[in-house]
Amino acid sequence: MKNFSLKIALILVLLSPLQSFAERPFLTVETAIPTERGTYRIESGLVLNRLSNKAKKTELGINLRYGLIQNLEFDLEVPVVFISDDGRRKNMLGDVLLKTKIRFIKGRAANPLSIAGQMVIKFPTAGKENFKEEFLRTSGVVDVGFVAIASKTFAPTTAHINLGYYFIGNPAGEDLSDQIRYALGLESKVEGAPVRLIGEFFGQSDTSSSSSTPDTMVLMGGFALQTRKDLTFDTTVGFGLNDESPDYIINIGVVYSFD
């Protein structure tokens, strides 16, 4: 009864919208290992972006993952966005994401390589009137993405590679370019400590050569601390690798799992 009450309390606390774009402790990287069957995984975090000398974007959200069957998980992500730009402030619900991940190959001791695929559906809950918002970057209509994921362990380090193609919806009167998104994540266990060191590189590029949207590339690093078997805290910081990327990003979060 005590454990049940703890689970309910944590759910209620974490349902204050907190943002996680992918699988924590990463900001964008997904791993090829789905949530175990019958297990819930709550990932929540705070992401702060500085986009120019005057512009800042803070995102708060929550991911709820569930292992429906073996090798198949569903993930619902709900964000809230806070934008501050030269005295202009805007607070709003972001675009809700529904994701499903299926693992095709499970890594084993002789060949620790796992391969999975993910489908991402973005619902325009941010509102169509915001599709031109420079720091929100939403199309204002439904987008659909497909991501190939590979994870391989080189003890004590595990590498995760993502390559995705996103079909961007076109609002009335607009012709938006589709996007290619790519990411590399590394996590390494620290011997004798419940800590993992985290490294992440990610970027995106429009597929149209005539697109005016610049490419972005970001490098991040940090750590994850597992205080209990079912509870992990993490933090990473990063910076843009070109003038069109955020000046810096701070990503802080927590993961709680239960059956």
β-strand 55-69 against 72-85: which pairing, if any?
antiparallel
**The pLDDT of residue 219:** 97
**The pLDDT of residue 109:** 86
Domains in the chain: how many in total?
A: 1
Phi, psi (degrees; rounded to nearest 5) at 105: -130, 130
**173-202: per-residue pLDDT in tens?**
777 889 999 999 999 999 999 999 999 999
**162-176: per-residue pLDDT in tens?**
999 999 888 777 778
- Measure the CA–CA gap between 28 and 37, rounded to whole angstroms: 23
**The pLDDT of residue 77:** 94
**The pLDDT of residue 38:** 96
**12-54: per-residue pLDDT in tens?**
333 333 334 578 999 999 999 999 999 999 999 999 988 776 7
**134-145: per-residue pLDDT in tens?**
555 666 789 999
Q: Where residue 107 sits, what CATH number does that domain have?
A: 2.40.160.40
State the average pLDDT for the chain: 85
- CA distances 189 to 52, 54, 78, Å, are 35, 38, 30
pTM higher than 0.75 for the full model? Answer: yes
More reliable by pLDDT, 10 or 248: 248
**53-90: per-residue pLDDT in tens?**
677 888 988 999 999 999 999 999 999 888 887 777 88
**The pLDDT of residue 124:** 86
- CA distances 156 to 35, 200, 227, Å, are 21, 17, 19
**The pLDDT of residue 55:** 79
**The pLDDT of residue 110:** 87
**The pLDDT of residue 195:** 97
Residue 201 CA neighbour count, 13 Å, CB half = 5
| Cis-peptide into 34, omega within 30 deg | no
% residues pLDDT > 90 (the chain): 59
Q: What is the mean pLDDT of residues 234-243?
A: 92
Domain that holds residue 228: 2-258
- Helix (H/G/I), strand (E/B), else coil: 4: helix
**The pLDDT of residue 209:** 67
